[in-house]
Amino acid sequence: MKFRPLAVVAVAVALAGGTFAARAAGDESKALPEDPAKALVLQNCTICHSSTMVTTQRLSEKAWTGELVKMEGWGAPLAASDNATVAAYLAKYFNPDVPDGPPVMVKSPKAPG
């Protein structure tokens, strides 16, 4: 396997950012629709990404599959055998035909002034 320093940095940043976002957002499971595949998303996607990273995307099933394969290449723990299940779940609830949810207010990390 070829060592890619930039990939290592990107994964470290994603892990740190995902952890911070998960703590700030509270319970990640509340943002995802109930479905048998929801557990796979929580176990495999929200360990690095906040649920917002998932819920704000609007991709086709083919595009979701591509994202999952890409994340697998970055070291995501999702088993290749679960890709179709997760891609179908994500495409069902987060596809181009689904309107965006209501805007979410996020507090600025800096105090005014």
Residue 45 within any structural domain of the chain = yes
Asked if residues 64 and 90 have their Cβ atoms less than 8 Å apart, the reply is yes
Report whether pLDDT(102) > 80: no
Average pLDDT over residues 71-95: 94
Asked if residues 39 and 66 have their Cβ atoms less than 8 Å apart, the reply is no
Q: How many domains does the chain have?
A: 1
Residue 41 within any structural domain of the chain = yes
Structural domain boundaries, residue 33: 29-93
Residue 70 within any structural domain of the chain = yes
What is the C-alpha separation between 14 and 16, in angstroms, rounded?
Answer: 6
Q: What is the pLDDT of residue 39?
A: 95
What is the C-alpha separation between 48 and 17, in angstroms, rounded?
Answer: 8
Q: What is the pLDDT of residue 30?
A: 87
How many CB atoms are closer than 10 A to CB 45? 24
Report whether pLDDT(22) > 60: no
pTM of the model: 0.66
Q: What is the pLDDT of residue 61?
A: 97
Per DSSP, 82 falls in state G
Q: Residue 46's domain is classified under what CATH number? A: 1.10.760
Asked if residues 28 and 18 have their Cβ atoms less than 8 Å apart, the reply is no
Asked if residues 54 and 41 have their Cβ atoms less than 8 Å apart, the reply is yes
The phi, psi pair for 9, rounded to 5°, reads: -65, -45
Which is more confident, 57 or 16? Answer: 57
Q: What is the pLDDT of residue 18?
A: 44
Asked if residues 82 and 72 have their Cβ atoms less than 8 Å apart, the reply is no
Report whether pLDDT(16) > 90: no
